[in-house]
Amino acid sequence: MKCLIIAAGKGSRLQHRGDSKPLIPILGVPLIERVIRTAVEAGADEFYVVIGYQGERVRLFLEGLAERLAIGITPLVNGDWEKENGLSVLKARDVLHEPFLLLMADHLFDPDLVRPLTTLKLGDREIALVVDGDTSNPLIDLEDVTRVKVEDDSSMEGKKIRNIGKGLADFNGFDTGIFLCSPAIFKALERSNEKDGDATLSAAVRILGAEGCAKAILMDGFWIDVDDPAAFKRAERALLDRLRDKPTDGPVARYLNRPISVRISRHLVKRNVTPNQISVFSFLCSVLAAGLFAIGGYVALFLGGVMAQFASIIDGCDGEVARLKYQSSDFGGWFDAVLDRYADAFLLFGLTWHLLAVEANGWVLFAGFMAIIGSFMLSYTADKYDNLMRDRIRAGGKTGLRMGRDVRVFLIFLGALANMVLPILVLIAVLMNLETLHRVSVARHEQH
């Protein structure tokens, strides 16, 4: 699937954030890179990018991006970049002779909005536009968004676009800027420009809509036009909010750790810090906490508890930064899991040492051993269990609360603060091993 991206404009309303709008970073990644990466995830594999203002800078960036992603990116120069956006589309008429995706360099979106277009069959004279049917979408600026009137036919042709424009009073959707176009879009743009002197995309869609050749793909989902400071802030918030919705998060991670870690990640993505470095830092904080536990005394115990919970919060940042900066990898996830297992062992052994330093008691050693074993077994069963829960979520079922590392470390934190180390060790040992048995039971039931 080929993809054409319009990236020629100046973006004067965002000039305070950068000279070239496509290269303005949002949470550490330039706008144009976010669009291309999302399109790749949706199924596009060859790109044509129309450049204009600051074109040489954008071209050099695209060359580097193409090498990093191992994809084809061909720049097309639009010398009339200050005029209507349809003129940028026309720059591709000599290179695109089959259906292609058409995207905007300043529109961020979820790949699920694009995927239906990659398998959609178009007629020779047709185009299709993803239309947001949620007219109360909080990410939309009603004063600036292009509005769409969709008529739902009962015939086989399905939903058609009857009108489009920013000033529509009668509308039932919004233009997301996500198109699947046949070469008919070029002819429509030429006709509109010659007849009315209007070379906007909306004008071409109106022409095709009048002929019944403009399909509407009604969908709800994340997308936003990042064209002014207010929209930029909304986009940042939306991208960060999407990090909070992680199905495998336990109650402590979801309601305490994640709201804090997301705020920290917001600043980390703007710095030259890798997810693996964050994982190592979190691990070292856990080792420091364990050392404080082993020192003895309430002050060291208190500080160790605070440090352990801080490490647990930071442990969420590596994955968040990886997702925001497209740095996720199988090795990174595995490396983080390995460090977490070492961190758990150090923390629980530190608490056990804290008690043994006061009184050498076999029951203390047994409680610490069972807590460590329960911790390891809970982590060992997590992968299969989480996959089962994802299947339940897809099927619309309930999953219940997830007992995981976030709960374990939070209990350590509470036990240290309350100076109740032995009861907490026993509680962790009981809860972790019972939850492991519960997971085994769930897996056995799902198998049958």
Give me the domains of the chain, ranges plus CATH numbers.
2-231 (3.90.550.10), 245-447 (1.20.120.1760)
Q: What is the pLDDT at residue 421?
A: 94
Query: pLDDT tens digits, residue range 247-306?
Result: 778 889 999 999 999 999 999 999 999 999 999 999 999 999 999 999 989 999 999 999
Q: Which of 75-84, 181-190, 391-400 bottoms out in mean pLDDT, i.e. has the lowest?
A: 391-400
pLDDT value of residue 210: 92
- The answer to whether 153 and 159 are in contact (CB under 8 A) is yes
More confident residue, 52 or 151: 52
Amino acid (one-letter) located at 288 = L
Spatial distance between the Cα atoms of 383 and 399, rounded to a whole number of angstroms: 15
Q: How far apart are CA 10 and CA 8, in angstroms?
A: 7
How much is the average pLDDT of 301-316?
Answer: 97
* More confident call, 6 vs 358: 6
- Over 50: is that where the pLDDT of 156 sits? no
Q: What is the pLDDT of residue 397?
A: 54
What DSSP designation does 135 have?
T
So what's the pLDDT on residue 401? 60
Predicted confidence (pLDDT) per residue in 176-199, tens digit: 999 999 999 999 999 999 988 999
Q: Cα separation of 348 and 415, whole Å?
A: 12
pLDDT(445) > 80: no
pLDDT at position 155 over 60: no
Work out the average pLDDT over 199-226. 93
Predicted confidence (pLDDT) per residue in 89-130, tens digit: 999 999 999 999 999 999 999 999 999 999 999 988 999 999
pLDDT of residue 448: 57
Please tell me the pTM assigned to this model.
0.86
CA 240/CA 429 separation, integer angstroms: 35
pLDDT band at 393 (very low <50, low <70, confident <90, very high): low
Structure tokens at 95: 């290179």
Helices (H), 273-361: 275-295, 298-324, 330-358
| Whole-number pLDDT of residue 360 | 80
- Portion of the chain with pLDDT greater than 70, in percent: 94
Which pLDDT value is given to residue 154? 45
Residue 404 pLDDT: 80
Q: What is the DSSP string of 42-109?
A: HT--EEEEEEBTBHHHHHHHHHHHHHHHT-EEEEEE-TTTTS-THHHHHTTTTT--S-EEEEETTEEE
Structure confidence at residue 327 as a pLDDT band (50, 70, 90): very high
- Taking all residues of the chain, what is their mean pLDDT, rounded to a whole number? 91
Written as six digits, the tokens of 124 are 């020779």
The predicted pLDDT at position 391 comes to 65
